[in-house]
Chains A and B, each alone.
Chain A
Amino acid sequence: MAHLTLQSLVKRFGAVIAVDRVSLEVGSGELLCLLGPSGCGKTTLLRMVAGFLRPDEGAIAINGAPVTEVPPEKRPTAMVFQNYALWPHKTVANTVAFGLRVRRLPPVRIRSKVAEMLDLLGLTGLEDRYPRELSGGQQQRVALARALAVEPAILLLDEPLANLDAQLRVHMRAELRQLQRKLGTTMLYVTHDQEEALSLSDRVAVLQQGRLEQVGTPEEIYRRPATSFVAGFIGHSNLIAGTVAQCEGGRLSVRIRGGFTLEVGSADLIPVGSAVTVAIRAEDACLARQETMNVLPGTIQLSAFLGATRRLTVASPAGLLRVDCPADLGVREGSAVEIHLPIDRLHLLPGNTGPAPEDGQTL
Chain B
Amino acid sequence: MSANIAGVAAPLDPMTRSNVRRSRPGWPEVGRTFAVAAVGAFVFVPLAILGLYSLSDQWNAPHLLPTAYTIKWYDYLFHYEGGLSGVVQSTLVAAATTVFTMLVGLPAAYALARYRFRGRRVLEMALLAKTAIPVILVGVGTASLFYIWGLHDTFVGLVAAHSVGALPLQVWTAAAAFQRVDVSGEEAARDLGASFIRRFVEIVLPGALPGIIASAILVFLFSMDEFTVTFFVSGVAYTTMPLRLYSALNSGYIEPAAASAMILLMPSVLYLGLVLRYFGSSELRGGLGNLG
Contact = CB atoms under 8 A, between A and B. Distances in A.
A72 B191 contact: yes
Contacts of B203: 87
Contacts, number: 59
Contact of B192 (A52, A83, A89, A99): A99
B193 A81 contact: no
Contact of B187 (A85, A89, A99): A85
Interface string A43-85: 0000000101000000000000000000011100111010101
Interface string B162-189: 0000000000000000000010110111
B192 A150 contact: yes
A86 interface: yes
A103 interface: yes
A157 to B, nearest CB: 12
A73 B185 contact: no
B206 interface: yes
Interface in B190-209: 190-195, 198, 202-203, 206-207
B184 A85 contact: yes
Nearest to A81: B184
A77 B187 CA distance: 13
Nearest to B202: A98
Contacts of A15: none
Contacts of A81: 184, 187-188
A25 to B, nearest CB: 23
Contacts of B189: 87, 98
Interface residues of A, number: 23
A146 B192 contact: yes
Contacts of B195: 73
B198 A85 contact: no
Interface of B is mostly: helix
A117 to B, nearest CB: 13
Nearest to B196: A73
Contacts of A79: 187-188, 191
B188 A146 contact: yes
Given A85-B182, A87-B203, A88-B207, A98 B194 contact: yes
A85 B188 contact: yes
B213 to A, nearest CB: 15
Interface string A321-361: 00000000000000000000000000000000000000000
Interface in B105-137: none
A73 B207 contact: no
Given A85-B182, A89-B207, A73 B190 contact: yes
Given A85-B182, A89-B206, A102-B198, A73 B193 contact: yes
Nearest to A50: B191
Contacts of B182: 83, 85
28 contacts: A50-B191, A52-B187, A52-B191, A72-B187, A72-B190, A73-B192, A73-B193, A73-B194, A74-B193, A77-B191, A79-B188, A81-B184, A83-B184, A85-B182, A85-B184, A86-B188, A87-B185, A87-B188, A87-B189, A87-B206, A88-B185, A88-B207, A89-B206, A98-B189, A98-B202, A102-B194, A147-B191, A150-B192
Interface of A: 50, 52, 72-74, 77-79, 81, 83, 85-89, 98-99, 102-103, 143, 146-147, 150
Sorted nearest first, the 8 A-B pairs with minimum C-beta distance are A99-B192, A85-B184, A85-B188, A89-B206, A102-B193, A73-B193, A79-B191, A85-B185
